[in-house]
Structure 1
Amino acid sequence: MKQILLVDDEPNILLSLEFLFRKEAFDVRIARDGSEAMELIAEGPPDLIVLDIMMPTVDGYQVCTHVKKHFGHVKVVFLSAKSKTADIEAGLALGADLYLTKPFSNKELVRQIKQLLN
């Protein structure tokens, strides 16, 4: 079973994503900010991380940089309200495998994540 780490400081988004991915038979872990994400990743990296960018303490860019440096095999998907071309390019330049903007389609998110994990 593939493991996904969901990282977002917005509880409603975490809740809906957790429900969505559990329904698709993924093993789901949750972090409410970048620092908590770093701790969970250190305990054992997931197969994929769905990552918000704008969070307190440690932002998504910092988490992505750390993950790609130390756990290059882990897929990173940014899911962010930052939708300017420069934001998307910055995320992809850090090594993100996918950058999706909020609001997003659940069906499309699941489809693209399954594609990344196969």
Structure 2
Amino acid sequence: MPRILIVDDDPAIRDVVSFALSRAGFEIVTASDGAEGLARAGDSAPDLIVLDVMLPEMEGTEVCRAIRRSGSDVPILFLSSRDDEVDRVVGLEIGGDDYLTKPFSPRELVARVRAILRRGAPAPVPASTAATEEVLRHGRLVLDPGAARAMWDGMEVVLTATEFGLLRTLMRRPGRVLSRDALMDGAYAVERVVSDRTIDSHVRRLRAKFAAVGAAPVETLPGFGYRLGPCA
């Protein structure tokens, strides 16, 4: 049973969301503020987080940033009373997966949660072939699918499962320009619908991790997509 963490300081909203999702067959964990939500995200291992933007002391956007900095790729659905495009864009750019404006229908909430979870876990390498799948090499970049390790010039770069899947897709087609849809089709095992901004957010975090070791393996071609650079 998928576990959903609900982080909202309004008891009425928490109750409505909890009731709707529990009736839909989900296990529920709740938190009433940002600090508690961040703690629950770490100790309850949720499959998805429903996160209010406006929280006391620690806003939902800060909770999201902290979760992403920890390396977690858990899906996050933002709730907000503000229907502002800038807020939606910021939420997606910092690592959110979707954005729902209050007031909302419980049915729509459940549908959004199910849609996010249907995107599935990033395509795993089957256990029977993981150990024998070929190590991918491109210049100073090495990707070992069997060990789930990415290396740049001998230094390990720790990636989330989604980031690993995106890089593996690019390395299988070095030099070729891949659209956002092609990237996600390669990284995920099942059909799903994600926004361009969500994909860009994953790529941005992937780039940041390689930038920390002085590398820039992923190139952008505006209007076309992404490709793996020379990695010399």
Is the TM-score greater than 0.5?
Answer: yes
Equivalent-residue separation in structure 2 for 1:76 and 1:68 (angstroms): 10
TM-score normalised over the length of structure 1: 0.94
For the 8 Å contact 2:5–2:46, the answer to whether it is kept is yes
Alignment pair present for 1:100 and 2:107? no
Q: CA-to-partner distance for each residue in 1:57-99, whole Å, 9 max, x for gaps?
A: 1110011111222243200000110211111111111110001
Structure 2 contact 7–33 (Cα < 8 Å) conserved:
yes
Q: What residue in structure 2 maps to residue 12 of structure 1?
A: 12
Q: Which residue of 2 aligns with 1:34?
A: 34
* CA contact 2:16–2:106 (8 Å) conserved in 1: no
Query: What are the ranges of 5 or more consecutive residues in structure 1 without an aligned counterpart?
Result: none
Q: Which residue of 2 aligns with 1:76?
A: 76
Normalized per residue, the structure richer in helix is 1
Match of 1:65, SS?
A: helix
- CA deviation after TM superposition for structure 1 residue 108, in Å: 1.4
Tell me the secondary structure at the aligned position of residue 4 of structure 2: strand
SS at match of 1:112: helix
Give me the whole-angstrom Cα distance separating, in 1, the residues matched to 2:70 and 2:24: 28
Cα RMSD after superposing both structures:
1.1
Shift of 1:41: 1.4
The one-letter amino acid paired with 2:14 is: L
Runs of 4+ aligned structure 1 residues displaced above 3 Å come to none
Instruction: Specify the alignment match of 1:24 in structure 2.
Output: 24
The answer to whether the 8 Å contact 1:45/1:71 transfers is: no
Structure-2 separation of matches of 1:40 and 1:6: 10
- Segments of structure 2 that go 5 or more residues without pairing to the other structure are 119-232
Q: How many residues align?
A: 118
Aligned-partner Cα distance in 2 for 1:56–1:44: 22
With the length of structure 2 as denominator, give the TM-score of the two structures.
Answer: 0.49
Point out which structure has higher relative CO (alpha carbons under 8 A, 6+ apart). Answer: 1
Aligned partner of residue 12 in structure 1, secondary structure: helix
